Amino acid sequence: GQQVMQIPQYQHVQEGEDFTTYCNSSTTLSNIQWYKQRPGGHPVFLIQLVKSGEVKKQKRLTFQFGEAKKNSSLHITATQTTDVGTYFCAATSGTYKYIFGTGTRLKVLA
């Protein structure tokens, strides 16, 4: 079945440093979503990418969809302690259901 891998699994950064997580699929994706889950909480929708090569920004967060629509990235500029959590991508290949990536757990050291 479809698998969505994310790297890195964990990332510890100093506050103010940048952070990037990558999402990779072996199959071409229809669209991809990104979620943030705080410790003890539930996933919160961040963004959806649909078009090849699409780039979207939300304040310090930049999301990118690869040209081949097989990978995506989330980049956070100048991390803050409030950015702590696990970031998941969720992808679909044309069906109604999304498969979640393995997640990247971010820890920000003050």
Partner 1 sequence: GAVVSQHPSWVICKSGTSVKIECRSLDFQATTMFWYRQFPKQSLMLMATSNEGSKATYEQGVEKDKFLINHASLTLSTLTVTSAHPEDSSFYICSASLRTSGFEETQYFGPGTRLLVL
Per CB under 8 A, residues contacting partner 1 are: 1, 30-31, 33, 35, 41-45, 48, 50, 88, 90, 96-103, 105
- Shortest CB 16 distance to partner 1, Å: 26
- Shortest CB 84 distance to partner 1, Å: 14
- Shortest CB 54 distance to partner 1, Å: 12
Of 24 and 77, CB closest to partner 1: 24
Q: Under 8 Å CB-to-CB from 58, ≥6 apart: which residues?
A: 46, 47
- Is 66:55 a contact under the CB 8 Å cutoff? no
In DSSP notation, 69-97 reads: SSEEEEEESS--GGG-EEEEEEEESSSS-
Of 1 and 82, CB closest to partner 1: 1
